[in-house]
Chains A and B, each alone.
Chain A
Amino acid sequence: MEMVTAAVAAVLSPSVLFFMLVGVLVGAVIGALPGLSVVMAISILTPITFTLDPAEGLAMLLGVYNSGVWAGGISAILVNTPGTPASIMSTLDGYQMTKRGEAGLALGINTIYSAIGGLFSTLVLMVAAFPIANFALKFGPAEYFSLALFGLSMIICVSEKSVVKGVMMGCLGFMLATVGQDSMYAYPRFTYGNVNLLEGIQYVAVMIGLFGFGEVLTQIYESKEIVGLAEKIKIGKIIPSWKQFLDFAPITSLAAFIGVIIGAIPGAGGDIASIVCWDWGKKISKDKDNYGKGSAEGLAVTCIANNSIIGGAMTTMLTLGIPGDAVTAVLIGSLMMYGMQPGPMMFVNNQEFIYKMMVMMVVANIAFLIFGLLTSKMSASLLNFKREYVWAAIVILSIVGSYSVNNSAFDVSIMLLFGVLGFFFKRADFPLPPLILGLILGPMAESNLRRSLALTNGSYSIFFVNPISCVLIIATLLALFGPFLFNLLKGKKNSGDGQS
Chain B
Amino acid sequence: MTGEIVISVSLMLLTAGAFVISLSFPSGTSDGVPGAGFFPQILCSVIFILNVLNIIQAIKKRKAKPEEAFTTDQITKLKQILVITLATVAMIFLWGSMHFIILCSFYLIIFNIVLKQSPKYYLPGSLATAIIIYIVFEKILNVMLNS
Which A residues form the contact surface with B (CB < 8 A)? 48, 51, 162, 164-165, 167-168, 171-172, 174-175, 178, 182, 184-185, 187, 189-190, 213, 217, 220-221, 223, 388-389, 391-393, 395-397, 399-400, 403-404, 407, 409, 412-413, 416, 420, 423-425, 427-430, 446, 449-450, 453-454, 457-459
User: Contacts A407-B147, A424-B3 hold; do A178 and B91 have CB atoms under 8 A apart?
Assistant: no
Contact between A409 and B35, CB atoms less than 8 A apart: no
Contact between B4 and A217, CB atoms less than 8 A apart: no
Which B residues form the contact surface with A (CB < 8 A)? 3-4, 7, 11, 15, 18, 21-22, 25-26, 28, 31-36, 38-40, 43-44, 46-47, 50-51, 53-54, 57, 74, 77-78, 80-81, 84-85, 88-89, 91-92, 95-96, 104, 107-108, 111-112, 115, 117, 125-126, 129, 133, 137, 141-145, 147
Majority SS at the chain B contact face: helix
Known contacts A164-B54, A175-B18; 14 additional CB pairs below 8 A are A171-B46, A174-B43, A175-B40, A178-B43, A189-B40, A190-B18, A213-B88, A399-B91, A400-B143, A407-B144, A423-B81, A450-B33, A453-B33, A458-B32
Roughly how many angstroms separate A401 CA and B70 CA in the complex, as a whole number? 34
Contacts of B28 in A (CB 8 A): 458
Q: Which of A221, A396, A412, A454 contacts B92 (CB 8 A)?
A: A412
Contact between A428 and B104, CB atoms less than 8 A apart: no
> CB-nearest residue of chain B relative to A217?
B81
Contact between B34 and A450, CB atoms less than 8 A apart: yes
> CB-nearest residue of chain A relative to B77?
A221
User: Contacts A175-B47, A190-B21, A412-B95 hold; do A449 and B39 have CB atoms under 8 A apart?
Assistant: yes
> CB-nearest residue of chain B relative to A450?
B34
Q: Which of B15, B92, B137 contacts A409 (CB 8 A)?
A: B92
Q: How far is the CB of B76 from chain A (nearest CB, A)?
A: 10
Roughly how many angstroms separate A217 CA and B80 CA in the complex, as a whole number? 9
Contact between A450 and B108, CB atoms less than 8 A apart: no
Q: How far is the CB of A84 from chain B (nearest CB, A)?
A: 24
Q: Which 7 A-B pairs have the closest CB atoms?
A: A458-B32, A168-B50, A182-B36, A187-B36, A428-B3, A404-B143, A51-B141
Contacts of B11 in A (CB 8 A): 168, 172
Roughly how many angstroms separate A213 CA and B129 CA in the complex, as a whole number? 18
Contacts of B21 in A (CB 8 A): 190
Q: Which of B18, B88, B141 contacts A399 (CB 8 A)?
A: B88
Contacts of A416 in B (CB 8 A): 85, 88-89, 92
User: Contacts A389-B125, A391-B115, A429-B4 hold; do A178 and B50 have CB atoms under 8 A apart?
Assistant: no
> CB-nearest residue of chain B relative to A176?
B43
Q: Which of A165, A171, A396 contacts B43 (CB 8 A)?
A: A171
> CB-nearest residue of chain A relative to B115?
A388
Roughly how many angstroms separate A167 CA and B53 CA in the complex, as a whole number? 12
> CB-nearest residue of chain B relative to A391?
B115
Contacts of B89 in A (CB 8 A): 416
Roughly how many angstroms separate A404 CA and B38 CA in the complex, as a whole number? 34
